Amino acid sequence: MNRGAGAAVGAAVGAAGFAIFHGQYPTSQLYGPTICRVPEAERMIALTYDDGPNPRHTEELMSVLDRHGARATFLLIGKWAEREPGIVRSLSDAGHALGNHTWSHPTMPLRTSVQIHEELRRCREAVEAAGVSFSKVDGGDLMRPPYGRRRPGTLRAMRESGYTPLLWSITCYDWRRTATVDKLVARGSRARGGDIILLHDGSNADPAADRSASVAATDEILRRLTGEGYRFVTVPELVGGGSA
C-alpha cells in the first residue's frame, strides 16, 4: 500500500472511530442536544433505571427509594411494560418519572425512521394501556435510546415522535458480569449536583433478570449522598430545578 492509500485508509478509520464515539458517548452533544447533566441543579441528583419493569426487583427498588425519600426516573421497555401493568402504575403512583426505552431494545442507529417510530409507538401504547403516561421535559416525553446509541437521524426521529432525548453523566456498569455492589457504589457515589446516574432494574434479554446488586447499591449510594446533603429527584425535577 502506497503512502497516499495508507493515509486515506487511516483517515477513514479515524472518521469512523470519531462517528462511533460521538454516537454513543453519553455526554456528547455533537449529533444534537440531549439531557445528560444539569450543572445548575447544584444539590440535586437524578437516579435513572433502564430495562424494567422487573417483577423480581422493581418494587423492591421502589421500597429502597421510598425509605430514603428519593424519587427516580424509570425508562421502560414496552414488551415488559405490557407484561407488568401493575408495576407501571405503582411507579407512577409513587411519584417516579417514566420514559420510553423502545418496545424491544434495538440498536436505533441500525433502524430506519419508520422502524424507530414503530418501536416508540408500541412502547407508548403498552404504558398507556396501564393507565399512565410518560413524563415530559422541555415540551417532549422522556426517551432514552438503548445503549445510548444515536445518530442525527435517530434523534430526529425521536423528536418527530414527540420525545426529548435523555442520556446520563455517570454509569455504574451494573450490567457487567463482574459487577459487585462495592464497584457500583464506588461509581455511583462520585455523583455531584446535576449528575444523572445510569443503573438498571431490568434487562432487555430477561424480564426477571437478577438486579439485586443494583438494588443494594442504590441503598448505599442514597445513604452516602443524602448524608452529604444531596436530594434525589426525577429528571423533570432536576431540569426544572436547574433552570429555576
Q: What are phi and psi of 167, to 5 degrees?
A: -115, -140
21, three cell numbers? 464515539
54, 209 Cβ separation under 8 angstroms: yes
The CA-based dihedral angle spanning residues 54, 57, 62, 65, taken in that order and rounded to the nearest 10 degrees: -130
Q: What are phi and psi of 76, to 5 degrees?
A: -100, 140
Which listed residue (50, 174, 195, 219) is catalytic? 50
Does the active-site annotation cover 22?
A: no
In three state form, how does the secondary structure of the chain look? CCHHHHHHHHHHHHHHHHHHHHHHCCCCCCCCCCECECCCCCCEEEEEEEEECCCCCHHHHHHHHHHCCCCCEEEECHHHHHHCHHHHHHHHHCCCEEEECCCCCCCHHHCCHHHHHHHHHHHHHHHHHCCCCCCEECCEEEECCHHHCCCHHHHHHHHHCCEEEECCCEECCCCCCCCCHHHHHHHHCCCCCCEEEEEECCCCCCCCCCCHHHHHHHHHHHHHHHHCCCEECCHHHHHHHHHC
Does the active-site annotation cover 101?
A: no
Which listed residue (96, 101, 105, 200) is catalytic? 200
Residue positions annotated with a catalytic role:
50, 200
